[in-house]
Structure 1
Amino acid sequence: MSEHPLSHAADEKLICVVLPRFNMNSLTTLIEPLRIANYISDKPLYEWQFLSPGGGNITASNGMTVECDDLRDIPHTATIILFGSWGAERNTDHHLISWLRQSARHGIRLIGVETGAYILARAGLLYGKQATTHWSLYPGFSETFADIEPSEQLYTMDKQIMTCAGGTATADLMLHLMQDQHSPDLASEVSSQMLHQSIRAPETLQRPIVNTGSGHVNPIILEVTRFLERHIEDHIPIPDLCRRTGVPQRKLERLFRRDLGCTIVQFYRQLKLQYARTLLVSTNMNIREISVACGFNSMSYFSHCFSKTFGRKPSLYRMSWPDDQPEPIWHGTMYSFIKKPQKDIA
């Protein structure tokens, strides 16, 4: 990957700090708007460089590598963008955290991408601020950092400290900053060159609550699933749910069967188990605490349901990418759940 050594030529200087198993898509999608802006402008507007604690060739989650220098002093006008992904939610590198704190004291702008937000939070740089991370880690992030205002959106703009969910949202963040730093016309042209049809606002939701693949979901189902996701730790009886929505139980069950291929109870339980899996891999909560947080009255029933759904006991699911696996495997997603007929867990 092309690296631009920092000089005085470009207006904006970006320091991309990558950690092992980082998401290459997030990195390249962030850099591409900068490259195009340089391509269509009269002079270089952006420069970027890759750093990592200890330096060397850092391997991304897709197996590609980026050659990095070690952490060092950087210009106070630069922007640090911290890329974390698999395993970074447990990263406690004291040298990195100290370097980030020192950079913040010097007024350097910091952006945490995906689980990079975890490390900014551990450095105390997100205290009292709005922050986001990838939606799959959002439950663990909100449980771990009670002094942060979590928001499941594409990116957050909080003066010196920003966060981004990763993926294609990194392009939106860069284009948004490009509008402010240069001009809306430049950002629009870069967006067109990328075939990125519109620049999404920071508060844009990361995902639909239900994704069937076809997109044909009754609005009643959307309303109910949103409500259930807001009440993961509760036990909502189906008759109460029907009274809240004003929809007869037989009709609601029929809609769930038709659009999602499961009963309301099965869907609600799957939501709870997905939430539990995220807490297992991204927090230090014990299994009993997690079962309670996910609305299970019995820890043994929780363990039984979890094992039947994901093929492993909760105690064996504390790492999202174990060291003995050549690549991560994340079976039992909501997509796979609604794509096959469901049987009740005995």
Structure 2
Amino acid sequence: MRKWHIPSSKPEEIAVLLFPRFSNHCLANAVEPLRATNELGRRDLYRWRFVTVDGAPVSSSSGLPVLPDCRLSDHPGGDVLFVLPSYDVQRHATQPVLRALKAAARRFGAVAGMDTGSWLMAAAGLLDGHRATIHPNELTGFSEAFDMVEAEDSRFVMDRRMLTCGGAMTAFDLVLELIARAHGEAMRLEVASFFMFARSDPPKGPLVRSTGSKLVDGCVALMSAHLEEPLSVPQLAAGMGAHPKTLARAFHAHLGAGPQTVYRRLRLTAARRYAEQSGYSIAEIALRCGYQTPAAMTRAFGQEFGKPPSAFRQGG
């Protein structure tokens, strides 16, 4: 069962293991959602450090240099180790690298192979008896090279402690899933919305990541398109050609909350975006987000975010 909100007590510690010619795109899709989560949560929910096997600087495939914080062996460990080689992955699969990766895996709660990172994980024996995926260009060779691994053509695979994804865009999907498991579906939806609609206007269509249910995805899109004049749950269900009880069951199964709770969060998230990024008055924000009075919106806003809209004004 999915959970709508999960309170957190301490930041999660992430290490990002980079190799020469790593993908900027993949790195951004792995780390930027974590940064957005911190920004939306208004505190450090994630901390990350860049590491390399030998502690030496590395450059991406496009020439962007990165100075790591430390060697992999010097990192004390944490919640997740991101393994991000991208290009020339088979050349990186040397015995010193594989030994270092295998040793490091014992210090982390999970290991995530980004892009072609699953090749190094498999070569180190970390994926024996596991399901896994890899970049589509490497999938055939991967399945032939590692017969102890159940290779899948999937966007991402989470099998116990071993996590893998199939490329730069799917790294974003995998990290969103990690965010949902740590902080709930409300945060996942907000982070996804942040990247598709990083401006004051609220989203008018479906969010980036599918919930796995066409009914839920379609209804969330319908909600997003009707923030100013909210629809009732029966109206939403009718718009999706479903019974209200069917819609409610689907929302609870895929998001861990009912349609009313999700709709309320979408409206108040839009209100927060307006408060942060626009010059609209509180009264105007209330109207744009479907509240009849500023007082009603401010009361709901405080219940949702713990502070009034004025606290989210720039400089507030």
Q: So what's the TM-score if we normalise by structure 2? A: 0.58
Q: Which position in structure 1 is the counterpart of 2:46?
A: 46
**For the residues of structure 2 that align with 1:151 and 1:202, how far apart are their CA atoms?**
20
Pairing 1:144–2:158 present: no
Structure 1 residues 106 and 33, CA gap change in structure 2 (3 angstroms) = closer
SS at match of 2:158: strand
Structure 1 residues 144 and 74, CA gap change in structure 2 (3 angstroms) = same
Pairing 1:71–2:39 present: no
Q: Which position in structure 2 is the counterpart of 1:93?
A: 94
Give, in angstroms, the shift of residue 77 of structure 1: 3.3
Contact 1:176/1:199, CA 8 A, preserved across alignment = no
Give, in angstroms, the shift of residue 133 of structure 1: 0.7
Higher relative contact order (CA 8 A, sep 6+): 2
**For the residues of structure 2 that align with 1:115 and 1:49, how far apart are their CA atoms?**
20
**For the residues of structure 2 that align with 1:168 and 1:10, how far apart are their CA atoms?**
28
Give, in angstroms, the shift of residue 17 of structure 1: 0.2
**For the residues of structure 1 that align with 2:181 and 2:119, how far apart are their CA atoms?**
27
**For the residues of structure 2 that align with 1:201 and 1:77, how far apart are their CA atoms?**
29
Q: By percentage of residues, which structure has more helix?
A: 2
Matches within 5 A, 1:150-189: 150-189=151-190
Contact 1:79/1:109, CA 8 A, preserved across alignment = yes
Pairing 1:112–2:110 present: no
Amino acid corresponding to residue 52 of structure 1 in structure 2: T
**For the residues of structure 1 that align with 2:62 and 2:102, how far apart are their CA atoms?**
30
Residue by residue over 1:186-244, the C-alpha shift from the partner in whole angstroms, topping out at 9 and shown as x without a partner, is 111111010085454699xxxxxxxxxxxxxxxxxxxxxxxxxxxxxxxxxxxxxxxxx
Residue by residue over 1:9-68, the C-alpha shift from the partner in whole angstroms, topping out at 9 and shown as x without a partner, is 951111000001111100011111111111111321011110012223211111111111
Contact 1:107/1:160, CA 8 A, preserved across alignment = no
Task: Provide the aligned length of Structure 1 versus Structure 2.
Answer: 196
Amino acid corresponding to residue 57 of structure 1 in structure 2: P
SS at match of 1:185: helix
Residue by residue over 1:279-335, the C-alpha shift from the partner in whole angstroms, topping out at 9 and shown as x without a partner, is xxxxxxxxxxxxxxxxxxxxxxxxxxxxxxxxxxxxxxxxxxxxxxxxxxxxxxxxx
Pairing 1:131–2:132 present: yes
SS at match of 1:55: coil
Greater shift after overlay, 83-92 or 146-155?
83-92
Give, in angstroms, the shift of residue 107 of structure 1: 5.2
Contact 1:135/1:152, CA 8 A, preserved across alignment = yes
Matches within 5 A, 1:30-45: 30-45=30-45
SS at match of 2:72: coil
Q: Which position in structure 2 is the counterpart of 1:23?
A: 23
Contact 2:79/2:108, CA 8 A, preserved across alignment = no
SS at match of 2:186: helix
Residue by residue over 1:78-109, the C-alpha shift from the partner in whole angstroms, topping out at 9 and shown as x without a partner, is 31000012111232232322222223334531
Residue by residue over 1:135-193, the C-alpha shift from the partner in whole angstroms, topping out at 9 and shown as x without a partner, is 01111111111111111111110111111112111111111111110111111111101
**For the residues of structure 2 that align with 1:202 and 1:19, how far apart are their CA atoms?**
32
Structure 1 residues 74 and 108, CA gap change in structure 2 (3 angstroms) = farther
Amino acid corresponding to residue 30 of structure 1 in structure 2: A
Matches within 5 A, 1:313-332: none
Q: Which position in structure 2 is the counterpart of 1:11?
A: 11
Contact 1:173/1:202, CA 8 A, preserved across alignment = no
Greater shift after overlay, 95-104 or 134-143?
95-104
Q: Which position in structure 2 is the counterpart of 1:4?
A: none
Contact 1:155/1:202, CA 8 A, preserved across alignment = no
SS at match of 1:56: coil
**For the residues of structure 2 that align with 1:54 and 1:160, how far apart are their CA atoms?**
25
Give RMSD over aligned pairs: 2.3
Matched-pair identity in %: 30
SS at match of 1:114: coil
Residue by residue over 1:249-308, the C-alpha shift from the partner in whole angstroms, topping out at 9 and shown as x without a partner, is xxxxxxxxxxxxxxxxxxxxxxxxxxxxxxxxxxxxxxxxxxxxxxxxxxxxxxxxxxxx
**Which stretches in structure 1 are left out of the alignment for 5+ residues?**
1-8, 204-346
Contact 2:76/2:107, CA 8 A, preserved across alignment = no
Q: Which position in structure 2 is the counterpart of 1:211?
A: none
Structure 1 residues 10 and 48, CA gap change in structure 2 (3 angstroms) = farther
Contact 1:85/1:115, CA 8 A, preserved across alignment = yes
**For the residues of structure 2 that align with 1:56 and 1:73, how far apart are their CA atoms?**
13
**For the residues of structure 2 that align with 1:91 and 1:202, how far apart are their CA atoms?**
35
